[in-house]
Amino acid sequence: MTQTRTFLFIAWLMVAAFLWMEWNKEHQPQPVAQTPSAVVAAAGAVPSANIPAANIPSASVPGTVAPQVMTPAQAPRVSLRNDMLVLELDGRSITSAKLLKYHQSTESASPPVVLFNDSPASEFVARNGWLAADGIDATFMPETAVRSADLPADASEVSTSFIAQAADGVQVRRTYTLARGSYAVRVHDEVTNAGSVPWTGTVYRQLLRNPPPAKGGFTNPEAFSLSGAAWYSPENKYKKRKYPDFIDDGPLDQEVGGGWVGLSQHYFLTAWVPQKDQRALFSLGVSGVTHRIEARGPQVTLAPGQRYSSDATLWIGPKLPDQLEAIAPGLDLALDYGMFTVLSKPIHWLLTQLHKFTHNWGWAIVLLVVLIKLALYPLSAAQYKSMAKMRKFQPRIEQLKERYGDDKQKFQMAMLELYKKEKINPAGGCLPILIQMPVFLALYYVLLEAVELRQAPWIMGWVGDLTARDPYFILPVLNGAIMLMTQRLSPMAGMDPMQKKMMQLMPLVMVVMFALFPAGLVLYWVTNGALGLLQQWWNTKRYAQVPEKA
């Protein structure tokens, strides 16, 4: 099995794999809608806490009319800042979120990535409120006159609070807290009924977005990354849905305890994680161009003098697996590797460990290839030994080809008989290829999803971003040259002239193909090909044999 045949085989497998993944996206089983019925035990002195079913807006179901909810008045905004995030919030909504450690481009003056904004054309907000039984949403006001809360140099966290005065003496005090080095916003609500009559209210937590136009293209990494909603429950695990499928794939309406809801995009995630022991109804909805995922509940009834507290965490930031895993079970699954998760996770971990040694993601990829090659060396040695045998009998194969002329069937039978007689296995190199192919695709998904590689340079002045194309196409051309040199060492016995021409064109085809792929992926394959060429040259000398005379 020659190296060029290897690349052709891999190209076909890649197409088949991606076609299978696209088919699978269209035929995923849909979750069965569940009717909320459970009653959640109230904490402390709260007499009842239920999952509200009748008053849940169901915009995800065509023809369903959501109940009218009175929108609260515009409240003053407060800025909350730590060393990772700058947030703008009005008590009920987070309307802006700037990620200080991540920039929109590699230019020195590039502004930070912005996840939330309340511009109607690109609306993206996180909302958290309390609805009274009459449908009135509480209006929050800052607790103090301070409009900016920055993390002090000697502090571990910073917070700001809002107060909402509901009807009949009910008060909701909400505190937002940001810890140093964290993208997780802790939200604590304390509800007090200081009135004279019972009060019933429902907490809701939403993410709303007018999604940007979908990006396509076989070589565009964003086309393979989830742009849509994701959610997790202990019973049904991780689920996801793209924006265009919010309505077509049916309602969600699932009662969950200990889960989360989120909106995912390339490299970044926003997700609400409700308090684990307070069950909520997860739902999806579309209103005009605004798509919504929501966790609503529990509904609580407070007698005069009673209190109730509810906590939640809002993740606003990059998909960092270790930090996500520490926030909530299954939140790290938002780093979506698809069918290659079982391989991509350890590859991501190994790359991270290698980066600790090299302090450069490009060299970490190179070391990864070296380790893979070492692991596969026994199989590769068998492959090259088989190729050496084929090279030894190449004159006899050419003689058979001349003898049988255009009778390809007889020629193939005679060649197979020769292989059998001389104990040559023409497929002896297939096993290493079959092992490398899933690794190749798994690494592709690591490069696709791993935010650590985003804008990560390899060699300054050349490859400044491993997740972008090689700007000078040096790596794709180098890959083609390696393939061409490998061809020179590879026997092509038994090929007709047309097949030989196709194989000789393969380096050029792969140059064009890899010119469109991320530089990190091409770097992986160039390193793999260069080590393979070196192995083949060494083993050709090692197993060199005098060609059999025709």
Please, what's the b/e burial string for 321-335 (b: 16 or more CB within 10 A of its CB; e: otherwise)?
bebbeebbbbbbbbb
Peptide bond into 298 cis (omega under 30): yes
The answer to whether 290 and 209 are in contact (CB under 8 A) is yes
Going by the DSSP 8-state scheme, the letter that residue 459 receives in this structure is B
User: Within 10 A of 219 (CB to CB), how many other CB atoms are there?
Assistant: 14
Q: 70 near 136, Cβ under 8 Å?
A: yes
Closest to 102 measured CA to CA, from 111, 112, 92: 112
By residue count, the chain amounts to 550
Helix, strand counts (H, E) of the chain: 11, 21
Q: What is the CA radius of gyration of the chain?
A: 30
Report which of 422, 385, 379 is spatially closest to residue 400, judged by C-alpha positions: 422
CA 45 – CA 23 distance, rounded (Å):
52
Interatomic CA distance for residues 167 and 507, integer angstroms: 74
Backbone angles phi, psi at 311, to 5 degrees: -115, 150
Give the per-residue pLDDT at 255: 94
- Residue 72: its pLDDT value, please? 54
**CA atoms of 150 and 175, how far apart (whole Å):** 15
| 510 backbone dihedrals φ, ψ, rounded to 5° | -70, -30
CB 153 within 8 A of CB 57: no
Check if the beta carbon of residue 39 is closer than 8 Å to that of residue 50. yes
d(CA 130, CA 302): 13
Residue 224's pLDDT is what? Answer: 78
Counting as low any pLDDT under 70, the low residues of the chain are 1-74, 216-220, 382-391, 425-433, 490-497, 499-500, 543-550
Burial class (CB in 10 A: 0-12, 13-18, 19+), 418: middle
From residue 227, alpha-carbon distances to 214, 232, 376, 449 in Å are: 8, 16, 36, 12
- Calpha distance 175→153 (Å, rounded): 21
- The pLDDT value recorded for residue 543 is 65
Nearest to 354, CA basis, from 363, 341, 345, 343:
363
Q: What is the pLDDT, as a whole number, of residue 452?
A: 92
- Mean pLDDT for the chain? 81
Q: Write out the two tokens for 523.
A: 């770097």
Return the SS3 of 198. Answer: coil
pLDDT of residue 141: 93
Amino acid letter at 39? V
Please give the structure tokens belonging to residue 7.
């690349």
What is residue 49's predicted lDDT score, i.e. its pLDDT?
54
